[in-house]
Amino acid sequence: MDINRLNRLRTNACLPDFADAMLLLRREAEEASRIAYAIGPKEHGEWTHQYHCHDDGAMLIFDWHKPLSHRCPVCGKTWTGEPYDSAWTSIVHTHIGRAVYNMALLHMIEPDRKRLGQIKSFLTAYATYYERYPVHGSIPYNGPGKLFAQTLDEAHWIMDLSVGFHFISEYLSPEENTYIRSGLLEPCVRFLIAHKEKQIHNHSVLITSAIASIGILLNDEAIIRCGLEGEYGLYDQISRGRFEDGLWYEGNVHYHFYAFQSLLHFALVAEGTAWELWQAAGLKSMFDYPLHLILPNGSMPSLNDAGSRAGIHTYAPYYEIALDIFGDEIYRSLLNTAYGTEWAETPFSEAKTVPRCSTNALLFGRELTPIEGKRGDRLWKAAHRNISLPVSGITKLVNRKRWQAIIKHSKFGGEHDHMDRLGLSVVCGNTPLLVDPGTTAYGVPAHYGWFKHTFSHNTVILNGADQPPADARIIRFEEQPWGAWAETAVDWLGEQYEMKDRIHLPPELCPWDLEAYEGAVIHRINALTDDFLLDMVRVTVPGRREICLANHFSGILAESGTANWQPTDDRLSGLDQKWLKQKRKLGVDATNSFHYRMEEGSLRQFIWSSHKCDIYTALTPDNPPERDRTSIIMRADIDQRIVFVQALLYDSDHKPALEAMDLLTVSMLPDHEYRIVIAAVGDKQEYSLIWHESGAKLVKCY
């Protein structure tokens, strides 16, 4: 460890501001000291994503004393046998790896002979057996492991162990140092080098970071260069995997930080060496980008393979690093808000707060008192503004009533993409309205069965099939006195996309239908005022296709006497129909308005289409999957073009009568003009949309 970083660690450990971090570190080291697991010659771990209840997606309860019994904390069911037992084994070694790191870090602050002895016993046990563990693993789309079932987990584990070893190496005899290096670090790094992934991927960032880090700890320049340089080395990963605006190409904050944390781990190990990385081009942009996406309650959008519970509280430890290295006051503002200090930004009153207890706080933590004259709602202003990010492909529209609409016009993101170009996600404050649910654990059936597919998103589906890879684009983004609007587009006029030659997908991860989308073009316009969201979708196809516009509401459909819903067995999408419960079809005398009871308040939806549509509803999985959402699907068979228009109005306080005289009317005029009139809550607004192939012009008439 760099001497300046070691001094910061020891200084912070004595300060009251970091008492929670020291309390947690001591507690974790104490728990680690009670681990009685005997590392042996036949350790065999499997995929930890399998350690979840297949009924409701909850992670099973891990118990050191019950390696053959795994209980669900939600439904109470106990799972036994494989793959749960071997997944439990992987969790055991993940815990031991983290235990070594925590005990070694605490030893740097408070030396303890007993703690040191236990660290040595873990490391020497692994050094005794590691090289004899058989290579194994059949996890889809991943390289194998030895102790674990995939190269990724092997890299995670050895990063913790190797840094723990580095922390205590000066307390070991020359013979002990040699034994651990030759029995554990060297064979493991050789294994990682042999199984480097030949693509741009978050796994590759982690694996190459681990290789380069071990190379520094072994003082082996050849290993360092093997991790850093060449095609698909760490430098190449960051150069080609990070968009110019700072986002990691896989398209969400979760995988952005998953890749970024490995880069930061290497940067810490390399600090003070010839390989130091802190001032590398683009590093600061990776801290800055997520600030644009923060929602009104402090959470992050759950796009692609992201979970639904992350927020600024989740990522605060990384901003300890950002504040220390770059000193930007907005990072201090984020930390104060995440920790709920007296300087927290008041507009984020609904944001979850956490104690300041991370190891990053000890290693990098700075004073959180704002610099005089620089207080204010800096974070809120950065996160709560209209913004379009054309390179990464995210546009966010906001209003004064705390609505935020996110339109996804991103590039195809590979393995963790959800094939939902032009997807729409809408929240109001702390209330989800029409959101992308992200996904659940990969071992839960709903992940590959439902969440990974186009149909589970608020976008267009052709012939019930998944969208093939494509790069969407923003055509126009405007802010007007009445609100903000954006036009986005995607097409399948060819098969090229930016990441095509940088990533490699096996056939199992290519479920799309090229024929269904060939020649298709989709345009979407979203306009957000202080009163409603206007959503206009135009789909153009070269031949007859079944066109669906899906909306998945985070609420329950309130029945109306004017809505004639009938049970149906019609097939909706190419997915297993078990994911769509209580399917119903709207009768001939259809209403064009629907009401939904949300977690708070109510939402009204008004719909129109240029051609006759069938309208369906069903209950579909929310996240977590034991909850339901209400899905509304507009479906038509068209051989040329169709336009859908819908308006969404949300009232957080009242539940309006179901028969309220709210209207959406759309008139088609010559020269590709549409007149859209919304009459709601005693107000009437009219808009003119002129929608040519080259782009749209949207004007408020009154």
User: pLDDT tens, 512-555?
Assistant: 999 999 999 999 999 999 999 999 999 999 999 999 999 999 99
**In angstroms, rounded to a whole number, what is the distance separating the alpha carbons of residues 18 and 496?**
51
Contact 248, 303 (CB under 8 A): no
User: Which pLDDT score is estimated for 225?
Assistant: 98
Q: In the predicted model, what is the mean pLDDT of the chain?
A: 94
What are the tens digits of pLDDT across the range 110-157? Answer: 999 999 999 999 999 999 999 999 999 988 778 999 999 999 999 999
What are the tens digits of pLDDT across the range 573-594? Answer: 999 999 999 999 997 656 788 9
The arithmetic mean of pLDDT across residues 432-438, rounded, is 95
Domains of the chain, by residue range, sit at: 1-24+244-384, 35-195, 390-654
User: Which pLDDT score is estimated for 659?
Assistant: 45
Q: Find all residues with CB under 8 Å of 376, minimum gap 6, and list them.
A: none
Which among 672, 676, 699, 554 has a CA at the least distance from the CA of 608? 676
Give residue 57's pLDDT band: very low, low, confident or very high (50, 70, 90): confident
Give residue 373's pLDDT band: very low, low, confident or very high (50, 70, 90): low
Give residue 657's pLDDT band: very low, low, confident or very high (50, 70, 90): very low
Q: Return the SS3 of 568.
A: coil
Which tokens is 634 given? Answer: 């507009």
Task: Answer whether residue 106 shows pLDDT above 70.
Answer: yes
The arithmetic mean of pLDDT across residues 327-341, rounded, is 96
Which tokens is 345 given? Answer: 């930004």
User: Which pLDDT score is estimated for 69?
Assistant: 96
Q: Find all residues with CB under 8 Å of 417, minimum gap 6, and list them.
A: 250, 251, 304, 305, 469
Task: Answer whether residue 617 shows pLDDT above 80.
Answer: yes
The arithmetic mean of pLDDT across residues 372-380, rounded, is 79
Which tokens is 497 given? Answer: 């996309």
Give residue 561's pLDDT band: very low, low, confident or very high (50, 70, 90): low
What are the DSSP calls for 44-73, one per residue?
----GGGSB-TTT-PBPBP-TT-TT-EE-T
Give residue 658's pLDDT band: very low, low, confident or very high (50, 70, 90): very low
The arithmetic mean of pLDDT across residues 638-665, rounded, is 79
**In angstroms, rounded to a whole number, what is the distance separating the alpha carbons of residues 155 and 140?**
17
* Segment holding 420, helix H or strand E: none
Q: Return the SS3 of 629.
A: strand
Domain 390-654 grouped into CATH 2.40.10.220: no
Give residue 371's pLDDT band: very low, low, confident or very high (50, 70, 90): confident
Q: Which fold has domain 35-195?
A: Glycosyltransferase (1.50.10)
The percent of residues above 70 in pLDDT, for the chain, comes to 97
Give residue 3's pLDDT band: very low, low, confident or very high (50, 70, 90): very high
User: Which pLDDT score is estimated for 680?
Assistant: 76
The arithmetic mean of pLDDT across residues 455-482, rounded, is 97
**In angstroms, rounded to a whole number, what is the distance separating the alpha carbons of residues 255 and 239?**
16
**In angstroms, rounded to a whole number, what is the distance separating the alpha carbons of residues 217 and 208?**
14
Which residue is it, tokens 């239908």? 513
**In angstroms, rounded to a whole number, what is the distance separating the alpha carbons of residues 539 and 520?**
7
